[in-house]
Amino acid sequence: MSDVNRELLYAGKAKDIYKSENENEVIIKFRDDITAGDGEKKDTLSKKGFCNVLISAKLFKVLEENGIATQYIELLSSDEMRTKSLEMIPLEVICRNIATGSLLRKYPFEDKQKLEPPVLQFDYKNDEYHDPMLNDSIIKALGIATQEELDEIREITLKINKILSDYLIERGIILVDFKLEFGKDSEGNIILGDEISPDTTRLWDSETYENFDKDIYRKGEEGVVDAYLKVVNLVLSDDEKEKWNVEQI
């Protein structure tokens, strides 16, 4: 079905969410748009959506196989996935394993310092307020989540960190840090949603520390999609790459 025949529920910076024939499901389209600096820097990069949908689908499946509930159902095409419909919680949950990026600008960490235990951070997902960092008291005062829900989100995030760190390092990738978003399903269960891709993670080559993520774009460097394709080739099986014609890109 073409986009013009579907009801658009939400248009984000890099993804569109469409109504599905099933009221408890939605279709997420990964566009080729890329942004940085709170949306001030924008471009369109061919095949970027293709890379992100494949990586997200694969990592969601890995998490499901390890007991983490996600909204993912199936890949529909080279830029779309079918997912469960969630009422999203307006939090960005950030997990940091290595000190880099904004952490170095704001706090006296050493560059590439290993963080033990991992640092967890909650940001308010709100463009108007520029996604400020939150603590538990502010989250509860705003009515975003209860203490019990925050504790559950923290527990799930740390489990995800362990699962993905182990999975990726076996494929030569260090999971430096990542951002997650959660929502509630029709029964009120907290479920992992959104995406897990080079747009929402920092990924480094385990030997060279080469970037495989959106930091390349943030720095104004070339080769963003080439880096994303490296991740696709490292995380997907040969059968999966053949199914989605990865070698033809």
CA distance 54 to 81: 9
CA distance 214 to 123: 19
CA distance 164 to 60: 10
The set of residues, in sequence order, having a beta carbon less than 8 Å from that of 29 and lying 6+ positions away, is 3, 15, 16, 17, 18, 49, 79, 80
CA distance 85 to 72: 10
Q: What is the pLDDT of residues 154-198, one digit of tens each?
A: 999 999 999 999 999 999 999 999 999 999 999 999 999 999 999
pLDDT score at 248? 58
CA distance 172 to 175: 10
CA distance 36 to 158: 26
- For residue 148, the surrounding DSSP H or E stretch is helix 147-169
pLDDT score at 242? 93
Place of tokens 């706090």: 107
The pTM of the full predicted model, rounded to 2 decimals, is: 0.96
| Residue 193, CA distances (Å) to 17, 89, 112 in order | 12, 10, 28
CA distance 35 to 81: 21
pLDDT score at 2? 57
Mean pLDDT by 10 residues, the chain (249 residues): 78 96 96 90 97 98 98 96 98 98 96 98 95 98 98 98 98 98 97 98 98 97 97 96 83
Strand-strand pairing, 87-88 and 80-84: unpaired
Which amino acid does the sequence have at 75?
Answer: L
Eight-class DSSP state of 247: G
